[in-house]
Amino acid sequence: MTDRLDDVLAYIDAHMDKSLDRLFRLVEIESISTDPAYAGRCIEAAEWLASALEGIGFDAAVRPTPGHPMVVGHSGGGSGPRVLFYGHYDVQPVDPLDLWNAAPFEPKIVTAADGTKQIVGRGTSDDKGQLMTFLEAFRAWKAVTGELPIPVSVLLEGEEESGGKNLAPFMEANRDELAADLAFICDTGMWDKSTPAMTTMLRGLVGDEIIITAASRDLHSGIYGGAARNPIHVLVDILAGLRDETGRVTLPGFYDGVGEVSPAVRDQWQRMGFDPDAFLGEVGLSVPAGEIDRSVLEKVWARPTCEVNGISGGYTGNGFKTVIPSQAFAKVSFRLVDRQDPDAIRKSFRDYVRSKLPADCKVEFVPHGGSPGVRLPTDSPAVVKTQAALTAEWGKPCVLVGSGGSIPVAGDFSRILGLDALMVGFSHDDDRIHSPNEKYDVASYHGGIRSWARILAALSEGRVS
């Protein structure tokens, strides 16, 4: 069937106006998941997507959850692997509304100062425009050949922007139906506006809140100072010991499961034109922190971290109050990579804190989530084929990148369904996602549809794992 790829690409080019019309219709639906007032609009978006899938020959349905519904669809195809595509139809709130140049749910195409055509509206980039790229690629293959090159399943959720708490239970309950050989997540971006990228590593996350208590009440420092234990002193000593002078985290076993970036990927990163001085300079910094023997890209994509995200205790209001506080608080997070175990990291951290706790002090912990990192083998057939397809479409080598943040669904695919999740998207850093005047370049939308058409063809040729 791959001999029909050129015909499919020509069909996509010839029908871009209709593809844009369909995206506009989806963007017009105010599917704000975090606001209960828009629950009905979330259902409407799910029903619209299920209908769109049915219209191109999928067996599709809206599936209820305790929150907003899922959309699940299945289509047969050639004899290749079954691929599961994931996206989300919910969007962020639009506040502050007065900063929008036009109504956020009345999408339109505008021309930027540099001549770029942009689709402006809430959800155009995150994630309605992105998920519509693969739906439109399916449509093109079906229109030209009557079927897809490979069997495909689709899972679209409506709570990604509000915590996604019902996704993992839904996947657990429907494990057999969602079985596939490979998953794709279309919620990431390109390296730059002309260079495609595939995200092959994500950092996981462990968060813990520490509450250290000393005296039974706040104390007058003139009366008790020098004799009473100050929990702020205890806390800052504990936090200071979490990293050594080279920037490495000191917790026992912290680096268990942390692998190295391959020489080939490291060389690619060095050729990508990343400017660490500009990266830090943009936020008013100049000297990289963290592990002194690692590049900035390694630090933010491929290395684990320990950060203090908040600290408080005692009197913090206006003026001055000479108090020895009863309690001190800190919020600490760890970004994880590779095969680091979130439970083991949390236990090591808590054991360390308890080991540093002096007499007359006690500690409480409040957990704030835990998820493992994700790293795909860059030489797997699926990665190699997808990378080649993206390179062919954009005319520049597709780069393999990491993400310093976390995409929990990628871990869920691995943990629940046993699937590697390839992360391919076409957004840009200036798309203003979650902000007023969100946009998606027309070239991103068009090129994304063509890219998925190529990827489907490439995956139909041989194994993917």
* 465 residues of the chain, pLDDT tens digit each: 678 999 999 999 999 999 999 999 999 999 999 999 999 999 999 999 999 999 999 999 999 999 999 999 999 998 889 999 999 999 999 999 999 999 999 999 999 999 999 999 999 999 999 999 999 999 999 999 999 999 999 999 999 999 889 999 999 999 999 999 999 999 899 999 999 999 999 998 999 999 999 999 999 999 999 999 999 999 999 999 999 999 999 999 999 999 999 898 999 999 999 999 999 999 999 999 999 999 999 999 999 999 999 999 999 999 999 999 999 999 999 999 999 999 999 999 999 999 999 999 999 999 998 888 888 888 899 999 999 999 999 999 999 999 887 788 888 998 899 999 999 999 999 999 999 999 999 999 999 999 999 999 999 987 676
Domain boundary among 371, 391, 418: 371
Dihedral angle of Cα 368, 369, 372, 376, to the nearest 10 degrees = -110
- Give the side-chain half-sphere CA count within 13 A for 52: 25
pTM score, whole prediction? 0.87
Expressed in angstroms, the distance from the first to the final Cα of the chain is: 21
* One domain, residues 6 and 133: yes
Output DSSP code: residue 457: H
Q: Which residues does residue 213 pair with via DSSP β-bridges, in sequence order?
A: 327, 362
Residue 268 lies in a domain: no
* One domain, residues 238 and 319: yes
Residue 271 lies in a domain: no
**Helix axes 16-27 and 5-14, enclosed angle (nearest 10):** 60
**Residue range of the domain that includes 334:** 204-258+304-371
* One domain, residues 46 and 32: yes
* One domain, residues 104 and 174: yes
* One domain, residues 211 and 168: no
Question: Considering its fold, how many domains does the chain have in total?
Answer: 2
CA distance linking residue 94 with residue 122, whole number of Å: 7
Residue 20 lies in a domain: yes
* One domain, residues 323 and 453: no
Residue 394 lies in a domain: yes
The pLDDT value recorded for residue 465 is 65
Q: Which residues contact 283 (CB under 8 A, 6 or more apart)?
A: none
The pLDDT value recorded for residue 158 is 97
Domain boundary among 371, 391, 416: 371
**CATH number reported for the structural domain that contains residue 244 in this entry:** 3.30.70.360
CA distance linking residue 436 with residue 226, whole number of Å: 53
Largest CA distance in the chain: 86
**CATH number reported for the structural domain that contains residue 106 in this entry:** 3.40.630.10
* One domain, residues 328 and 251: yes
The pLDDT value recorded for residue 1 is 66
Domain boundary among 371, 399, 427: 371
Residue 431 lies in a domain: yes
* One domain, residues 7 and 146: yes
Residue 155 lies in a domain: yes
SS3 at position 138:
helix
Strand residue runs (E) in 314-418: 323-324, 327-336, 362-371, 374-375, 399-403
Residue 290 lies in a domain: no
Amino acid at 139: R
The pLDDT value recorded for residue 369 is 82
* One domain, residues 198 and 62: yes
